C-alpha cells in the first residue's frame, strides 16, 4: 500500500501503480499458466500503461487488442504480436492490423467473408502467419449488469450456435468466446459446460479456444485450485486445443490508488460535500457507469443517503464531489473520523484497471499524473499532463 511518506513526494492528483502489488498478481497468473499450460494474455482495454510493460514481460508473452491502436501498442511497446478481436474491422485499418497481429478473430461470418482473402494473401508472403478465429456467442451469461453482458438477447457479439455452418469455412483455426465480467471459476465451469454442449462439434476441428476475459483470478476469494482443475479437465477432453484466457482486470486488480485532495467544502440543506481536485465523471468514470462506490482510505463507506441524516455533519459524513460542471459528478456517503480540511489528501483505492484507460478531459479539467512506485521505494512519475494535452485533443 502506498504509504503516507511517499504521498508528499508525488504530484497531486496522481494514479499510483505499485510494482509490488503488480508482481503479486503477475506471479499468481504465471503459476496458473505453468500448472495448466493455458496461456494468459493481457487485455489492453483494462490496462495499457505501457511504461510498465517490461515488468509484465517477465511473466507473460502476449496481449490482446481490440483496435488498430491497441494492436500497434502490442507490437511496438509490448514487443509481440497481438491477438486481435474487434466487433467490426474496417478496410482502411485492416492491413495495418495484420502487421501487428498473430491472431485475428472475426465477430461475424460477414466480416470473415470480407477479410479472409486479405489474411490469406498476407500469409502467402509473410513469415509470421496469422491464425484466424470466429467469435461464438453461447447465449449463456454469468453477468447481471446489462451494460457488461455480451450474451444478452439481441447482442451484437459473436455467432450463435444456430448460425454456425456445419463445417467451418477454410482458414478458421480457432474459436473465441467472452461472456464473463469479474467472475469466479464456478461461472467459468458453467460456461465451459454450455460451450461444450453447444459448440463441441466445432471444438474438435480447431486448434485454439480463447475464453475471453472477466476471470478475476487475483481477487482474494477466487478459487484458483478449482480453476486449475476445470482447465485441466477441459484440456483433457480437447487435447487438440490451445486454451487462452485474456483477462484485463485480473492483472491490474488492486494495484494502486488515485490520490487526490480536498479543494473546498460546501453545505446545502445539511448535506456536506467535499469538492476534490478530481472528478468521478472524468477520472473514475466506472463509478458512475457501473455504478459502484469506491473505497476511500481511512473512511467508512456508508449508504448513499447517510449524508442526509440530521447528525451527518457532526458525524463527519460527507459526499465527495468532482470538480466538473456535471451535476451528478459526486458520490456518497463516506464517514471520516475527523472534520475534513481543505488541502487534505483523499485516497481512492483500486483505481488502476479500466480507470486509467477510460479517463477523459471533459471541462478541460487537469488530468491526474501517473506514477509507478518501484519495489525499492523509488517513485517514477511516468506522466504529467499539461494544458497542451487538452488543447491538442481539441484539434
Ligand atoms: C473480448 C474481451 N476480452 C477481454 C476482456 C477483458 O475483460 P476483464 O478486464 O473483465 O478481464 C473484455 C472486456 O470487456 C472483452 O470484451
Instruction: Read off the DSSP letter of residue 94.
Output: H
Whether 170 has a pLDDT exceeding 90, the answer reads yes
Strand pairing category for 369-373 and 14-18:
parallel
List residues near ligand 1 (CB under 6 A).
43, 45-46, 85, 178, 181, 212-214, 246-250
Q: Quick: pLDDT tens for 96-136.
A: 999 999 999 999 999 999 999 999 999 999 999 999 999 99
* Last-in-domain residue among 252, 277, 302: 252
Q: Are residues 201 and 265 in the same domain?
A: no
Query: Which of the listed residues 187, 217, 246, 353 should we mutate to test ligand 1's pocket, taking the one with most ligand atoms within 8 A of CB?
Result: 246
One DSSP character per residue, 196-209 reads: HHHHHHHHTT-SEE
Average pLDDT across the chain, whole number: 97
CA distances from 71 to 58, 126, 127, 132, 167 (A): 20, 18, 18, 15, 30
Q: Report the alpha-carbon distance of residue 171 to residue 52 in Å, rounded.
A: 35
Q: Among 231, 252, 273, where does a domain finish?
A: 252
Roughly how many angstroms between the first and final C-alpha of the chain, as a whole number? 39
DSSP, collapsed to helix, strand or coil, labels residue 389 as helix
Query: Which residues partner with 17 through β-bridges?
Result: 372
pLDDT digits (tens, 9 = 90+) for 224-260: 999 999 999 999 999 999 999 999 999 999 999 999 9
Q: What is the pLDDT of residue 129?
A: 97
Cα(198)–Cα(20) distance, integer angstroms: 42
Distance 215 CA to ligand 1 centre (A): 9
Is 269 a residue whose pLDDT tops 90? Answer: yes
Residues 378 and 275 in one domain: yes
Residues making up the chain, counted from first to last: 395
How many domains in the chain?
2
Three cell numbers at 57? 514481460
In angstroms, the CA 262 to CA 13 distance is 10
Residues 103 and 200 occupy one common structural domain = yes
Which residue has its alpha carbon closest to ligand 1 atom 13?
A: 213
Catalogue the E-assigned strands of the chain: 14-18, 39-40, 42-43, 63-65, 82-85, 101-106, 131-135, 172-176, 208-210, 242-245, 258-268, 271-276, 300-301, 317-321, 330-335, 345-348, 369-373, 379-383
Atom of ligand 1 nearest to the CA of 176: 1
pLDDT band at 2, cuts 50/70/90?
Answer: low
Same domain, 224 and 281: no
State the CB neighbour count (10 A cutoff) for residue 60: 18
For residue 387, the enclosing domain spans 4-15+255-391
Is residue 305 pLDDT above 80, yes or no? yes
Ligand 1 centre and the CA of 317: distance in Å? Answer: 36
| pLDDT classification of 141: cutoffs 50, 70, 90 | confident
- Centroid of chain to Cα 4: 27
Q: Are residues 288 and 144 in the same domain?
A: no
Task: Name the nearest CA neighbour of 160 among 175, 142, 145, 143.
Answer: 175
Domain boundary among 194, 219, 252: 252
Same domain, 235 and 312: no
* pLDDT at position 144: 77
Query: Probe ligand 1: pick from 45, 86, 150, 175, max atoms within 8 Å of CB?
Result: 45
Residue 176 maps to which CATH number?
3.20.20.10
Q: Please tell me whether residues 100 and 223 are part of one structural domain.
A: yes
Read off the DSSP letter of residue 250.
H
* 3 state SS of 366: coil
Q: Which ligand 1 atom minimizes the distance to the CA of 46?
A: 9
Residue nearest to atom 12 of ligand 1 (CA): 213
The sheet carrying 131-135 orders its strands as 39-40, 242-245, 208-210, 172-176, 131-135, 101-106, 82-85, 63-65, 42-43
SS3 391: helix
pLDDT of 143 > 90? The answer is no
Closest to 321 measured CA to CA, from 261, 257, 362, 259: 261
Q: Which residues pair with 132 in a beta bridge?
A: 104, 172
Q: What is the pLDDT of residues 30-58, one digit of tens each?
A: 999 999 999 999 999 999 999 999 999 99
Same structural domain, 86 and 72: yes
Q: Does one domain contain both 46 and 34?
A: yes
Which pLDDT score, from 0 to 100, does residue 6 have?
76
CA 286 to ligand 1 centroid distance, Å: 15
C-alpha cell at 239: 487435447
* pLDDT (tens digit per residue) in 333-383: 999 999 999 999 999 999 999 999 999 999 999 999 999 999 999 999 999
Q: 385: domain CATH number? A: 2.40.37.10
CB of 165 closer than 8 Å to CB of 112: no
pTM (whole model) above 0.85: yes
CA 62 to ligand 1 centroid distance, Å: 15
* Per-residue pLDDT at 293 exceeds 70: yes
CA dihedral for 136, 137, 140, 141, sign (positive or negative)? positive
Which residue is associated with the grid cell 451484437? 156
Q: Are residues 164 and 299 in the same domain?
A: no
> Do 11 and 51 fall into the same domain?
no
If asked whether residues 278 and 378 sit together in one domain, one would say yes
Report how far residue 139's alpha carbon sits from residue 368's, in angstroms, rounded to the nearest whole number: 40
Amino acid at each position: 500500500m502506498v504509504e503516507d511518506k511517499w504521498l508528499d513526494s508525488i504530484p497531486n492528483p496522481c494514479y499510483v501503480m505499485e510494482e509490488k502489488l503488480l508482481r503479486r498478481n503477475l506471479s499468481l497468473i504465471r503459476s496458473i499458466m505453468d500448472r495448466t499450460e493455458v496461456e494468459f494474455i493481457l487485455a489492453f482495454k483494462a490496462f495499457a500503461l505501457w511504461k510498465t510493460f517490461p515488468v509484465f514481460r517477465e511473466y507473460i508473452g502476449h496481449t490482446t487488442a481490440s483496435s488498430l491502436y491497441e494492436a500497434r501498442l502490442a507490437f511496438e511497446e509490448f514487443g509481440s504480436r497481438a491477438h486481435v478481436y474487434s466487433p467490426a474491422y474496417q478496410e482502411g485499418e485492416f492491413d495495418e492490423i495484420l502487421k501487428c497481429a498473430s491472431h485475428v478473430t472475426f465477430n461475424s461470418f460477414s466480416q470473415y467473408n470480407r477479410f479472409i482473402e486479405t489474411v490469406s494473401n498476407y500469409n502467402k508472403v509473410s513469415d509470421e502467419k496469422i491464425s484466424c478465429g470466429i467469435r461464438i456467442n453461447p447465449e449463456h451469461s454469468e453477468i447481471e449488469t446489462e451494460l457488461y453482458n455480451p450474451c444478452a438477447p439481441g447482442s451484437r457479439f459473436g455467432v450463435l450456435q444456430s448460425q454456425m455452418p456445419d463445417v467451418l469455412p477454410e482458414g478458421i483455426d480457432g474459436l473465441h468466446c467472452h461472456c464473463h465480467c469479474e467472475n469466479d471459476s464456478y461461472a467459468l465451469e458453467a460456461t465451459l459446460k454450455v460451450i461444450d454442449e453447444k459448440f463441441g462439434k466445432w471444438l474438435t476441428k480447431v486448434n485454439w479456444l480463447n475464453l475471453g476475459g472477466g476471470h478475476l483470478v487475483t481477487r482474494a476469494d477466487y478459487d484458483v485450485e478449482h480453476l486449475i482443475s476445470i482447465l485441466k479437465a477441459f484440456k483433457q477432453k480437447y487435447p487438440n486445443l490451445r486454451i487462452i484466457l485474456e483477462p484485463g482486470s485480473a492483472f491490474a486488480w488492486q494495484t494502486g490508488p488515485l490520490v487526490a485532495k480536498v479543494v473546498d467544502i460546501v453545505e446545502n440543506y445539511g448535506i456536506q460535500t467535499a469538492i476534490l481536485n478530481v472528478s468521478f465523471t472524468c477520472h473514475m468514470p466506472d463509478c458512475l457507469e457501473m455504478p459502484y462506490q469506491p473505497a476511500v482510505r481511512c473512511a467508512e463507506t456508508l449508504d448513499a443517503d447517510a449524508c442526509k441524516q440530521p447528525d451527518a455533519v457532526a458525524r463527519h459524513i460527507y459526499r465527495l464531489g468532482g470538480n466538473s460542471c456535471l451535476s451528478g459528478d459526486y458520490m456518497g456517503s463516506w464517514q471520516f473520523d475527523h472534520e475534513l480540511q481543505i488541502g487534505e489528501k483523499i485516497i481512492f483505492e483500486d483505481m488502476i484497471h479500466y480507470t486509467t484507460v477510460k479517463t477523459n478531459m471533459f471541462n478541460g479539467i487537469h488530468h491526474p499524473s501517473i506514477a509507478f512506485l518501484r519495489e525499492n521505494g523509488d517513485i517514477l512519475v511516468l506522466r504529467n499532463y499539461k494544458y497542451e494535452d487538452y488543447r491538442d485533443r481539441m484539434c
